Structure 1
Amino acid sequence: MDLAVRVEDALDELPEEGRREILETIASVLLRRDAWPTVGGWEAATWFGRRSWVVFTAYPDGIDVVDLGWVC
């Protein structure tokens, strides 16, 4: 059984404004590889938007979002 919550599932619980900001926050962190933790390591990093955040790990081809949030 897969217990991981997919980003899409988490976004479904937010209003449109929250979904949009989370996706913008994820897009901005994808562009800032210098802010990524060690690629392939066990470290995670947090990136903040205006009213949102994402916690992620890094891999050579992208990131895995492990937590996200939005403040109403």
Structure 2
Amino acid sequence: MSYRVDVAVRVEEALAELPDEGRQEVMETIAAVLVRPGVWPEPGGWDVALLFGPRSWVAFAAYLDGIDVVDVGWVG
């Protein structure tokens, strides 16, 4: 099954400011969220969940057909 990913404007801005290594890791962390719907919060609510990569994190809300990435971070 394919899922959609919506990215908040501030996330797009944060990704643009990261070095290539950071952007790559954050994108891999977002991909890890997509393949693990069991870690998603209840779809359609206001709950946000966090998933951590080696040096990154992604905050996201869930919908029946995908996620909304609301914040990201990377420690470089």
TM-score, normalised via structure 2 length: 0.85
Q: Aligned equivalents of 1:7 and 1:32: distance in 2? A: 21
CA deviations 1:33-54 (Å, max 9, x no partner) are: 0000000011010000000000
Code of the residue aligned with 2:73 in structure 1: it is G
Q: Aligned equivalents of 2:11 and 2:66: distance in 1? A: 14
Question: Structure 1 segments of 4 or more deviating over 6 A?
Answer: none
1:12 and 2:12 aligned: no
Residue in structure 1 matched with residue 25 of structure 2 by the alignment: 21
Number of aligned pairs? 69
- Any stretches of 5+ residues in structure 2 without a counterpart? 1-7
How far did residue 25 of structure 1 move?
Answer: 0.1
Residue in structure 2 matched with residue 32 of structure 1 by the alignment: 36
TM-score, normalised via structure 1 length: 0.89
Q: Aligned equivalents of 2:73 and 2:11: distance in 1? A: 11
